[in-house]
Amino acid sequence: MMPLVIGIDIGTSGARAVAMRRDFSIAGHSAVPLDRFGGDGRAPTAWWQAVKAVLTELLSGIDRTAVCAIAVDGTSGTLLPVDAAGRPLAEPLMYNDKVDDGDILAAIARTAPAASAAHGATSGLAKALRFHHLPGIAMVLHQADWIAGNFSGRFDVSDENNALKTGYDVEARRWPEWIAATGMRMELLPRVVVPGEVTGALTAEAGELFGLPRDVAVVAGTTDGCASFLATGAAAIGDGVTALGSSLTIKILSDRPISAPRFGIYSHRLGNAWLAGGASNSGGKVLAQHFPLARIIELSATIDPETGTGLDYYPLPATGERFPIADPALPPRLAPRPADDADYLKAMFEGIAAIEALGYDRLAELGAPTLISVRSVGGGAANPAWTAIRRRRLGVDFLPALSDEAAAGTARLALMGASRAGLL
């Protein structure tokens, strides 16, 4: 019997689960939408219902007695306060919720180092400070922490990746003393471990609920973004991953941390390496403003990616850019417009490819390694013409992504934990 591990991803729209063998091959996968459980996806009860549903579906198609480890990823910067039993005490603050308390933001701005990811209205620390005076509060947890706690019964532990935006110092590997100066009660912050470390085992209740052995290890997970990177198979210094969704996001594995608050860049720690990256406002959203998806597919089939249009576009859906140019007043550049729709689309593809190349160059300027390869995920990765234009522009190997499922990346962490615990 070949052992299996499970990775669970709680995203913005649903839950996904992947069962993985020790050779990284996928034994099964499942997905359920959050809206099946009512509300807008903000309720922890809906998260757990979605996890129960997606895991039950996954287990129905695999040998559940072969499962030896589980890990969870969640949306970065989503926090909730809990009591000593892990019961939520208030509605969570989601990854994109902003804290509008000027005193909280001023306290962080005054005390946090300039390079800290705890700055800003959406930071985990700002949200923790919103919660820390609640009666009966025992801990402030990240979304993945709480889900994992429902498996292990431990509601006092987090991982280095989720804790980063809450102020955790990933270089010193500790909660820094300056956090207390913001007014935060330090005893409410969870113990932080390395992603992939075993933090406990299934409770009797969880084992019975899912029909799993009690000795299944619960392994520290990560954020959804880090999990997506790990899922691709990128593992060498200089490996890059480009996500072509509604926006353009690039990440590179570095041998040193990169921090540039002006560009919204900070580094997650992955073992002895670092994951640095940035997000442009360009991407699929601007394409969708001009052409429906069916028309993009139709026009793309007529594009010759080996020739250039000679146009110099900077496609943006609206005024303002954050990376690789930090300028809230930067206007879109989409003129002159060719008469032919295919040429217009091609020029936008070229413009976004140029932004991608500038992004990797910017990271190198800031200290990241030279790009050696790119793996692509997201809807745009399936467009052959765009891919060929990007390959020509970047001039590096384009490698296949092993998976574009964040849950597969989290399953890799579960494998790591299971291996360290001697369960494989």
pTM for this entry: 0.92
User: Which 8-state DSSP code applies to residue 396?
Assistant: S
SS3 221: strand
Let me know whether 215 and 249 are in one domain.
no
Q: Are strands 67-74 and 4-10 parallel, antiparallel or unpaired?
A: parallel
Let me know whether 329 and 191 are in one domain.
no
Q: Which domain holds residue 323?
A: 236-398
Let me know whether 209 and 256 are in one domain.
no
Give the tens place of pLDDT for each residue, 75-113: 989 999 999 999 999 999 999 899 999 999 999 999 999
Q: What is the dihedral of CA 178, 180, 186, 189, to 10 degrees?
A: -50
Place of tokens 């900070």: 266
Round to whole Å and give the CA distance between 52 and 40.
18
Give the tens place of pLDDT for each residue, 370-382: 999 999 999 999 9
Let me know whether 329 and 244 are in one domain.
yes
The tokens for 86 are 């892990």
Contact present, 231 and 240 (Cβ < 8 Å): no
Contact present, 404 and 232 (Cβ < 8 Å): yes
| Among 147, 115, 159, 112, residue whose Cα is nearest residue 9 | 147
Let me know whether 392 and 412 are in one domain.
no
| CATH number of residue 262's parent domain | 3.30.420.40
| Average of per-residue pLDDT values in the chain | 96
Contact present, 219 and 198 (Cβ < 8 Å): yes
Cα 105 to Cα 28, 113, 162, 175: the distances in Å are: 44, 13, 20, 19
Count the domains in the chain. 2
Let me know whether 57 and 191 are in one domain.
yes
Q: Is the sign of the CA dihedral 254, 258, 264, 267 positive or negative?
A: positive
| Among 73, 115, 77, 76, residue whose Cα is nearest residue 99 | 77
Let me know whether 256 and 387 are in one domain.
yes
Round to whole Å and give the CA distance between 389 and 346.
9
Work out the angle between the directed axes of helices 44-59 and 143-152 (0-180°, nearest 10).
60
Give the tens place of pLDDT for each residue, 150-199: 999 999 999 999 999 999 999 999 999 999 999 999 999 999 999 999 99
| Among 57, 9, 56, 50, residue whose Cα is nearest residue 33 | 50
Let me know whether 191 and 95 are in one domain.
yes
Let me know whether 74 and 161 are in one domain.
yes
Give the tens place of pLDDT for each residue, 30-84: 999 999 998 788 999 999 999 999 999 999 999 999 999 999 999 989 999 999 9
* 273 bridge partner residues: 270
Round to whole Å and give the CA distance between 191 and 199.
10
Let me know whether 191 and 310 are in one domain.
no
Let me know whether 213 and 273 are in one domain.
no
Mean per-residue pLDDT for 248-262?
95
Contact present, 15 and 34 (Cβ < 8 Å): yes
Round to whole Å and give the CA distance between 357 and 265.
16
